[in-house]
Structure 1
Amino acid sequence: MGLAEQRKTLGYSQEKMAELLGVDRTTVGRWESGKTSPQPCQRLALASTLKISLQDLEALLAPSQAVERGAGRPKASDHPSSGDPDEMIRREFLRILTVSGALTVLPLDEAEALADGVYRGNPADFARMNSHLWQVYQLARTKGTVYPVVRDQLATLREALSGARRGNSFPLLNAAADLFQLAGEVAFDANRYSNAAASYALAASVSKEAGAYDLWACALVRHAYVDISEQRYREAVEVLRAAERVAVRGDSALSTRHWVASVLAEALAGVGDLAGCEEALARAEEVQDLPEGSSNGGWLRFDGTRLAEERGARYVQLGRFDLAEEALKKALDQSSLAIGHSYRRRGAVLADLAVIGARHQDPDQVVTYAREALGLARASSSGYIIRRLRSLGDEFGPLSRNHRIAELGAEIAALRAS
């Protein structure tokens, strides 16, 4: 059975299928004829519409992909096959930029030239490609849609590294360390901690080999987040102390050491060290003294804009709700005004405010903030927001007897299960 047969089994015309998926009818026709294949970010919606699993959808697509492999090097408008990673990254990069809206940052002819540079193994183009992939990651509501492109960019990098001379490999090693961190971010957001930890460990190892101290320190910070997410705070403190020692060897104009301090504050709050936490937060706030350009928007994004929410979250951890609520409400107001403020960040602030409501036994505050956080979790499929809501559910206690809180708890549990 092919795509067309499955569609007809459900009684859909090509026009109806296109309407359900938000694409043109001719796009559905090209998928069914095998001329192109759906983009990675379209496949989940297509499988859902066809009432089949993603694995079954891949099986339906396999014949058309085999045709593509036999047709020689496809045009840039064709969808790549899974067996041709160089072409995958070339075309999927252009495609995902278009889908995300980030193409406004990169003109199409420049994107084509950049993709060609990656295909030839040009280190500078790898670095620029990674930078744009980070933009796509940040714009994507569902972070997992970026993973196929990241995976195949890594495959292309691996081939380039295998052909590079030892003395000329450092720029490629930097690009690889950057990309491993992005792969880890995608895995971490999906709650795949072991995959995230493996990616971060690879990023740290490659950065160390390249002598890229800021990349190395940032990889260690991300690795510490895995420990923090599983409440292994003392282990996280040890990793972050190592990150501090690495960061001081990096570029003093970058915000690396300030980000290390910010995350160290979270780990110290986890072990109940209020004085150490506030000292680390004070060091993190020194980022405001750095010149413009201290963060690169990719593997280093800490620029101080989230300091209010970070401070509020740390006070929640420490049980200082009197200090936390003011900081969090300030952060929430800022997020309402900020352009491009992420669902993940706003969802975390809302979850913390709901936790304060639970500690105060105030069901209205819990419901008000948690419901908005739930909406953001559903819209983004963010594992990070879901984890914060899970922690909120552990705070309900006697409030669970309230029917609204009980309904909220059931919705959080259902969201976790899905």
Structure 2
Amino acid sequence: MGLTERRRTLGYSQEKLAELLGVDRTTVGRWESGKITPQPWQRPGLAATLGLSLQELEAFLSPPEAVQQGVAEPQSTHRPSVGDPDEMIRREFLRILTVSGALSTLPVDEAEALADGVHRGNPRDFGRMNSHLWQVYQLARTKGTVYPVVRDQLTTLKEALSGSQGGNSLPLLKATADLFQLAGEVAFDANRYAEAAASYTLAASVGKEARAYDLWACALVRHAYVDVSEQRYHEAAEVLHAAELVAARGDSTMSTRHWVASVQAEALAGLGDLAGCERALARADEVQHLADSSSNGGWLRFDGSRLAEERGARYVQLGRFDLAEDALIAALGQSALAFGHSYRRRGAVLADLAVIGIRRRDPDQVVAYTREALNLAQASSSGYIARRLRSLCDEFGPLSRDHRVAELGAEIASLKAP
């Protein structure tokens, strides 16, 4: 029996169950379809209303069979076609890795004979260019504008990697693992999860090939965050455990393992594990003891400056609004200095504060914070902020009777997909 059948057995309509739980009817519909799952703080009330234990509720929340078999998928998921240029680039890199790996095992003269006619020459300083692209990405209000340059750089890297072999290819492999993470970030911001996951997977594979443990671990973290964003917390925890093991083999002066812990805290909060979440946050907080050079501003940007907002966000996930609000307001007060050009970070804090307003049934708080986040989404075309705002709409429930909240909901619904 699934969630829908249990509701019907008890004689509840979707509207009645939504009213009892203080959520919108569409939220109940999305729970039943498996598109989203209830937040940790919603589950005790849902279980009690349906006459279930929390353990029994978990079984009822399993996605419908059609979704499990891949017949249906969230609308935000974008799968490239066989002829998609981005997919073709990824395939070509995998082919190059296979061929170059085989060539490196051959005698030099034989390898040169097989590679005859392939373009050779000293590669450009890809590391410097990649670093520049990360800076442009961070400063860009519309992240998608960066991608044409990223694609050109990937094409140039592909050509350079085709003409290299053995140990000479390691710097190029590292640059490739770096750049595919940036490509994934652009796709993720635009809600193209399948494309982002594919880029992160290739970044991890190339990082492993290059024996670049920190690059490899960071690619795994980014891949796990795709699962986190789709509320697949168990899957994310598994990937993050692998990232933790890889990061332990990396450079101890870098903040990689602390970033792993930070995202582990989010996955554990999604699983409702307060104690585990706080332990992970404590490990992440140890980044404060590292030198300022522990992050590189590119594929590794974790420096602890976001910990206040992240701690607040984790408490929101866990339904501990008493602990969350102080941390979030403190983070928001630092916005001019800490957030800089990051609309995404400020938008996330505003969305979390709006969630607290929803749980308190405070329309004034909801309107104030949601309006500011909506303005940021409209100014930046950020898919991430738009996604957070749409999640808010699912939680408005009875507050939608306030005309200001209803108007915000309509504006959010009209946001254009990136």
Q: TM-score, normalised by structure 1?
A: 0.70
Preserved CA contact (<8 Å) 1:123 1:175: no
Q: Counterpart in 2 of 1:410?
A: 410
Could you tell me how far apart the structure 2 residues matched to 1:415 and 1:382 are?
10
Could you tell me how far apart the structure 1 residues matched to 2:241 and 2:396 are?
34
Q: Counterpart in 2 of 1:284?
A: 284
- 1:91-115 deviation per Cα after TM superposition (whole angstroms, max 9, x unaligned): xxxxxxxxxxxxxxxxxxxxxxxxx
Q: Counterpart in 1 of 2:362?
A: 362
Could you tell me how far apart the structure 1 residues matched to 2:121 and 2:144 are?
26
SS in 1 for 2:304: coil
Could you tell me how far apart the structure 1 residues matched to 2:259 and 2:123 are?
27
Alignment CA distance shift 1:265-1:237 (3 Å)? same
Q: Does 1:378 align with 2:390?
A: no
Alignment CA distance shift 1:341-1:249 (3 Å)? same
Higher relative contact order (CA 8 A, sep 6+): 2
SS in 2 for 1:293: helix
SS in 1 for 2:251: coil
Could you tell me how far apart the structure 2 residues matched to 1:166 and 1:373 are?
50
Could you tell me how far apart the structure 2 residues matched to 1:233 and 1:363 are?
30
Q: Counterpart in 2 of 1:61?
A: none
Alignment CA distance shift 1:175-1:122 (3 Å)? farther
SS in 1 for 2:361: coil
| Unmatched tracts of structure 2, length 5 or more | 1-88, 90-118
Q: CA deviation at 1:338?
A: 3.5
Alignment CA distance shift 1:121-1:293 (3 Å)? farther
Alignment CA distance shift 1:304-1:341 (3 Å)? farther
Q: Counterpart in 2 of 1:41?
A: none
Q: Counterpart in 2 of 1:146?
A: 146
SS in 2 for 1:228: helix
Q: CA deviation at 1:392?
A: 1.1
RMSD: 1.6
Could you tell me how far apart the structure 1 residues matched to 2:374 and 2:122 are?
43
Could you tell me how far apart the structure 1 residues matched to 2:410 and 2:244 are?
42
Alignment of 1:10-409 (within 5 A): 122-123=122-123, 125-338=125-338, 340-409=340-409
Q: CA deviation at 1:394?
A: 1.4
| Unmatched tracts of structure 1, length 5 or more | 1-84, 86-118
Q: Counterpart in 2 of 1:48?
A: none
Alignment CA distance shift 1:121-1:343 (3 Å)? farther
- 1:181-237 deviation per Cα after TM superposition (whole angstroms, max 9, x unaligned): 000000000000000000000000000000000000000000001101111010000
Q: How many pairs does the alignment contain?
A: 301
- After superposing on structure 2, the runs of 4+ consecutive aligned residues of structure 1 that deviate more than 3 Å are 119-124
Could you tell me how far apart the structure 2 residues matched to 1:304 and 1:403 are?
40
Q: TM-score, normalised by structure 2?
A: 0.70
Could you tell me how far apart the structure 2 residues matched to 1:138 and 1:341 are?
7
Q: CA deviation at 1:120?
A: 8.5
Preserved CA contact (<8 Å) 2:121 2:163: no
SS in 2 for 1:323: helix
The code of the aligned residue for 2:383 comes to: G
Could you tell me how far apart the structure 1 residues matched to 2:158 and 2:120 are?
13
- 1:23-59 deviation per Cα after TM superposition (whole angstroms, max 9, x unaligned): xxxxxxxxxxxxxxxxxxxxxxxxxxxxxxxxxxxxx
Could you tell me how far apart the structure 2 residues matched to 1:197 and 1:339 are?
26
SS in 2 for 1:325: helix
